[in-house]
A = this chain, B = another copy of it.
Amino acid sequence: MLFHVEMDVRIPHDLPVEKVDALKAAERVRAMELQRTGAWRHLWRVAGRYANVSIFDVSGAQELHDILSSLPLFPFMEIQVTPLCRHPSSIHDDDR
């Protein structure tokens, strides 16, 4: 099942730099891992903002929540989830 997810990252300016760097590095590792498993199907940067638009391919809302809530930057992200389904005019088998 596909979910459209927008994540806006807002890191408080008084968080220690080392902590921020560690969080970002961990986030990056986890994001790559999840892309490899196929759960995080697409990942794009929104031009001009510390934000991304993503497509997740998971078994359902539970798996999606487990993934998102365990992201290292989760406590500093504004997240918006939109469930997707197949568009009747789509010609791509994959865009379920």
Question: Is A90 within 8 A of B1, CB to CB?
Answer: no
Taken residue by residue from 1 to 13, chain A's Cβ proximity to chain B (1 for < 8 Å, 0 otherwise) reads as 1111100000111
Task: Tell me which residues from 51 to 96 in chain A have a Cβ below 8 Å from any Cβ of chain B.
Answer: 52-53, 55, 60-62, 64-65, 68-69, 75-76, 79-92, 95-96
Question: Is A44 within 8 A of B81, CB to CB?
Answer: no
Interface size class of A (residues with CB under 8 A): 35 or more
Question: Is B1 within 8 A of A87, CB to CB?
Answer: no
Question: Is A92 within 8 A of B12, CB to CB?
Answer: no
Question: Is A95 within 8 A of B14, CB to CB?
Answer: no
Nearest CB to that of A75 among chain B residues?
Answer: B13
Question: Is A65 within 8 A of B90, CB to CB?
Answer: no
Question: Is A1 within 8 A of B45, CB to CB?
Answer: no
* Interface residues of A, Cβ cutoff 8 Å to B: 1-5, 11-15, 27-28, 31-32, 35-36, 42-50, 52-53, 55, 60-62, 64-65, 68-69, 75-76, 79-92, 95-96
